[in-house]
Structure 1
């Protein structure tokens, strides 16, 4: 899962002292990162999947084609499973604010508390309340109410993302607050929520969820197609996923570029780590395709780059100057940020190529060649890889700050013995590995059932049962 990159971050932060890599603060960081990595896998699906479900339902209502309804009820089961695991892991994650990071709420709780509360209320009052109707209520409430429930669940997932990303963005680029006796208070809620990085982070995350779902839908549909299931619902899912990928992947490249420019303005040390720029600065910095950042000697080993490309992308000038890591009193560990960024970009380029090629091959209702179907199956969880890599770039790239300029990570941590945290971390890793394996197994089990996933019929038991 995320452990190799997290351990790399630990080692990079520790420098030449191996003992520092396993101190209590570092173990608490790895534990929280493990929890949020597992948790974030599921919102990355449900945020966009709710809208895909609405699309399937509206296509059925417009066309009357049962294939769209069959696709709906296949994926509503996946949504319910993902939502359940996301809620449970989110509750576990929230406990760590009190157990491992008491300084966080003590310092910024006046801002974080309300935003987290809005996110929780949105998730439970909209998503949890109406998901039952989506799963079991169609023949009881009729088409209009069932469709309305789908709208509300989809809106709930996006609203939850809005609030949690508002908080995360504020931690990256704080605004609208005042400090009183070392405690953050709200000065202007509008500035707190719509802080400088929030619009870019929200857009980038929503599209990332769309891409995660696009490849999940097309991958499982391709799996069913390879097993000989060529029903209308499989074709509908395959084309929907491929079209989403073909449209969203190039858009994400543009949005990511804009997000990078915003990061350069507000978090230049993170950009220096992403690009592996040492010294005080560099003119015409290359885009490094491969390198191994050597933090001990402040240089890149085995560097292979495209001259001037990083400068061109970030300053729109081949000879533009970018600040180097030595220009900052504090900067993040370079190795995990540098490689996390390249994993994200590399997978993103694969997504663009896959989406465009697949859309071309499926044009005009064509069947996919077997090699393409196999490739799509291989890309099923590519969205998870890109999303987690990007998340690590964002979060590790903020270090050593928990809230930039306000609260250092080391200042927020509880004083627990490393052995205690290490024991609970080991338990989390084992549990999450089992749950993740079970989740993936269930997805492919549902795909193997294929045509057995049918929509419950509307009966005439209610007066509005035939409403559309």
Structure 2
């Protein structure tokens, strides 16, 4: 049975790595922001003694634990491909990539693993101070993990600080230059804010779901929705700013990628248009049915209104990335970012009018936007990685030269196995997470730690609580 569908081993290996990385990326994109959210909730409870924050902490703690576990498992599986499908890359780039990955394990992963158990099970055993410290360490660990991984990937995008050995290996010559490659900081800020926005819209979507189910007086639901909307309103503009800065950085160091993102097949001598939509035709070298705004593309790229631009027609065909994929994934990412900004501004308007918990259309929009962050980070990742092609180390090592000497049938068999197992195992995990989110936070909500009894608040009994007196609700 031919599983290759006529594709060569290189294409199948790229699809397999892309599939496993995309699947894995969903979990860190959520858990990075959720770890920080849990630290904030725990800190707010210790500061205010408002048990609504504690109930929310326990509600999201179980969800975090499951997401974190699935992220670890999917990451381990992904890393094996460096030795199976990409052994040539591992051999040649290993002296640079290997130590950076080891630093991630020694700092971030050990930090997370060391304090995760205390965070999950230690509230009643170690005291509030150490438990709060554990929450902070896990949150910091997730951010450090993202920092090292982005350092690795940024070096592959904008390599520097190395020298080539006689046998073609990339040997480190300047570790500071390697870690802080030219694209590192813009990509780090853009990715971290994307993770926080992803979490904000998932939390906001869950809150909107329960508000739409007429549980609007549950203080936990109101608190989670209010906090998520604050985060969306504050971080969405920052995310757009950091995204623009990364785009300018990419244009400086990887101009071909930006040409594909913007769909500029032709050279412009007197002003650069902003192409909003169109159908890229890479074989013909043109953008069909283009809808564009004249000249505005120059200022966006940091140029003048009448600036010139060398298009993809000046790039050899074999060095062009797949334009259609890069062009459309970039627009998906930007479009979702603008929608996030719109929802954040909408929430501020509803909050100012005192309708934050009663604006049904806002709740419906937030419910629809719940998974939008996950879609945006995958689209952004595809823009970045596909736009780097045909290089695996930009300008240095071709992807075709990095693949292992495997037959297409062998790669196809492992790809099919990955797809089937991932959708079976992680699909079940996603369904369980949705089940947990479908229940509202309530008094007496248990976290992973075993409690001696339910939380008690004077005059309130465990259950799905209604607060007719708004003064009993936590502050927005």
Task: Tell me the TM-score normalized by structure 1.
Answer: 0.91
Is residue 179 of structure 2 the alignment partner of residue 193 of structure 1?
yes
1:282 CA displacement: 5.0
1:436 CA displacement: 4.4
Q: Deviations over 1:376-431 (max 9, x none)?
A: 11111100111111100100010010011221111010122212211221222222
1:347 CA displacement: 0.7
Measure the CA separation in 1 of the matches of 2:386 and 2:87. Answer: 20
Pairing 1:421-436 to 2, within 5 Å after superposition: 421-436=411-426
Measure the CA separation in 1 of the matches of 2:304 and 2:9. Answer: 44
Measure the CA separation in 1 of the matches of 2:379 and 2:350. Answer: 29
Pairing 1:14-413 to 2, within 5 Å after superposition: 19=6, 22-181=7-166, 182-229=168-215, 230-281=217-268, 283-329=270-316, 330-363=319-352, 364=354, 366-413=356-403
**Structure 2, unaligned runs of 5 or more:** 454-476
Counterpart in the other structure of 1:5? none
1:225 CA displacement: 2.0
Are the equivalent residues in 2 in contact too, given 1:222–1:377 (CA < 8 A)? yes
Measure the CA separation in 2 of the matches of 1:436 and 1:90. Answer: 13
1:281 CA displacement: 4.8
More helix by share: 1
Are the equivalent residues in 1 in contact too, given 2:70–2:426 (CA < 8 A)? no
Are the equivalent residues in 2 in contact too, given 1:272–1:322 (CA < 8 A)? no
Counterpart in the other structure of 1:466? none
Measure the CA separation in 2 of the matches of 1:388 and 1:319. Answer: 34
1:71 CA displacement: 0.9
Q: Which moved more, 1:120-129 or 1:180-189?
A: 120-129
Measure the CA separation in 2 of the matches of 1:78 and 1:122. Answer: 24
Q: Deviations over 1:301-324 (max 9, x none)?
A: 111111112222003422122221
SS at match of 1:106: helix
1:69 CA displacement: 0.8
Measure the CA separation in 1 of the matches of 2:175 and 2:81. Answer: 26
**Structure 1, unaligned runs of 5 or more:** 1-9, 11-17, 461-468
Measure the CA separation in 2 of the matches of 1:239 and 1:459. Answer: 31
SS at match of 1:133: helix
SS at match of 2:439: helix
Task: Tell me the TM-score normalized by structure 2.
Answer: 0.89
Counterpart in the other structure of 1:464? none
Measure the CA separation in 1 of the matches of 2:243 and 2:321. Answer: 20
Q: Which moved more, 1:435-444 or 1:318-327?
A: 435-444
Q: What is the number of residues matched between the two proteins?
A: 442
1:457 CA displacement: 8.6
Q: Deviations over 1:59-99 (max 9, x none)?
A: 11111000001111111112111111111011111000000
Measure the CA separation in 1 of the matches of 2:273 and 2:231. Answer: 32
Measure the CA separation in 1 of the matches of 2:27 and 2:92. Answer: 29
The 1:320/1:368 distance shift into structure 2, 3 A limit, reads farther
SS at match of 1:300: strand
Are the equivalent residues in 2 in contact too, given 1:97–1:105 (CA < 8 A)? yes
Are the equivalent residues in 2 in contact too, given 1:102–1:412 (CA < 8 A)? yes
Q: Deviations over 1:225-259 (max 9, x none)?
A: 22233321111110111111111111111111111
1:106 CA displacement: 1.1
The CA RMSD over aligned residues, in Å, is 1.9
Measure the CA separation in 1 of the matches of 2:79 and 2:450. Answer: 40
Are the equivalent residues in 2 in contact too, given 1:284–1:312 (CA < 8 A)? no
Counterpart in the other structure of 1:416? 406
Measure the CA separation in 2 of the matches of 1:52 and 1:318. Answer: 43
1:280 CA displacement: 4.4
The 1:321/1:404 distance shift into structure 2, 3 A limit, reads same
Q: 1:444 aligns with which of 416, 434, 441?
A: 434
1:446 CA displacement: 1.2
Measure the CA separation in 2 of the matches of 1:119 and 1:281. Answer: 44
Measure the CA separation in 2 of the matches of 1:29 and 1:294. Answer: 22
